Structure 1
Amino acid sequence: MTQDSSEEAAIRAAESALYAAMIAVDLAALDKVLSPDLSYIHSTAVAEGKAEYLDRVKARHYDYNSIASRDVVMRIRGDLAVMNGTLDMAVATAGGPNLMMTLLFVLIWTKQDGRWLLSLRQAINAGVRPA
């Protein structure tokens, strides 16, 4: 396995851990994968830092039911990695109905203290329907 392929595997594992923690409302696991300087930009144009995002997850403002990425392209440049692709997400927001969303996304990962942490997430809504 080359260095790039082992780094790509580590980043994909971090992405999987991120989605599993979001669905499980596992704040400790989320804290481990999110960078202290996180900027989490929702498809609704709401931008949150790490503390605000974790507070809203804890309050169940977001109720994630399923999250799966596809058609992912990854570029790794040293301690920075950029992922983009399509995300299929079933989520209810603020007690609203459960919606199946298709999002175009960008994730920026930075390697900090030997671990890949999510530094920026930005999504654009590509379609919504009832789940």
Structure 2
Amino acid sequence: MKTLLTFALFLTVTLAFAQADKDVASQVEKLRLALIDPTVANLSELSSIHLSYGHSSGKLENQAQFIDALVSGASDFAKVSFEDQTIHVEKDVAIVRHNLVADVLDGGKSNSIKIGVILVWQKEKGQWKLLARQAYKLP
């Protein structure tokens, strides 16, 4: 009986982690789509009011600056994909790593970029919110 209870607990915990991974992956996909078609509503829903958003250039933005840059077109993504993604969930925090591959429009001219990114998501009131993001140049 004790073995059966231990197995049931293990299975429950494993399924909870698998669901958390799926939930975080879903939020990351929503973020990818929001980078291409940004609105104040979708970016606000995805990000924490405490957001710290770091670019590979060293530029740092808070939530309002992050949203404004995308909605105004100062950061204009034509195409975005996330490659080699990993997700690690620990209680109410998730760490996501991937390579961001994108076509960015700059003054009507398209530039291709490939950078590494680490995202930190935190569960707030039952929903995963982007708390921190740092991009870095790949070797």
User: What whole-Å deviation, never above 9, does each CA across 1:70-118 have from its counterpart, x for those lacking one?
Assistant: 111211110000011211111124x363211111110000000000000
Q: CA deviation at 1:63?
A: 0.8
Report the equivalent of 1:48.
Answer: 61
Question: Any residues of structure 2 matched to 1:25-40 within 5 Å, and which?
Answer: 25-40=38-53
Q: CA deviation at 1:121?
A: 0.7
What secondary structure is seen at the aligned counterpart in 1 of 2:35?
helix
- Where structure 1 has 5 or more consecutive residues not aligned to the other structure, the ranges are none
User: What whole-Å deviation, never above 9, does each CA across 1:9-39 have from its counterpart, x for those lacking one?
Assistant: 1111101111111211222111100111001
**Richer in strand (by share):** 1
Runs of 4+ in structure 1 off by over 6 angstroms are none
Percent identity over paired residues: 25
2:137 to 110, 125, 128: 125
Letter in 2 for 1:25: P
1:69 to 74, 82, 87: 82
Report the equivalent of 2:8.
Answer: none
- Count of matched residue positions in the alignment of Structure 1 and Structure 2: 126
Letter in 2 for 1:40: Y
Greater C-alpha Rg: 2
1:20 and 1:89 map into 2 onto residues whose CA distance is: 12
1:107 to 119, 126, 132: 119
Mean Cα displacement is larger for which, 33-42 or 118-127? 118-127
Report the equivalent of 1:89.
Answer: 102
The alignment's C-alpha RMSD in Å is 1.5
What secondary structure is seen at the aligned counterpart in 2 of 1:10?
helix
- Where structure 2 has 5 or more consecutive residues not aligned to the other structure, the ranges are 1-13
What secondary structure is seen at the aligned counterpart in 2 of 1:2?
helix
TM norm structure 2: 0.84
Report the equivalent of 2:30.
Answer: 17
1:121 and 1:92 map into 2 onto residues whose CA distance is: 21
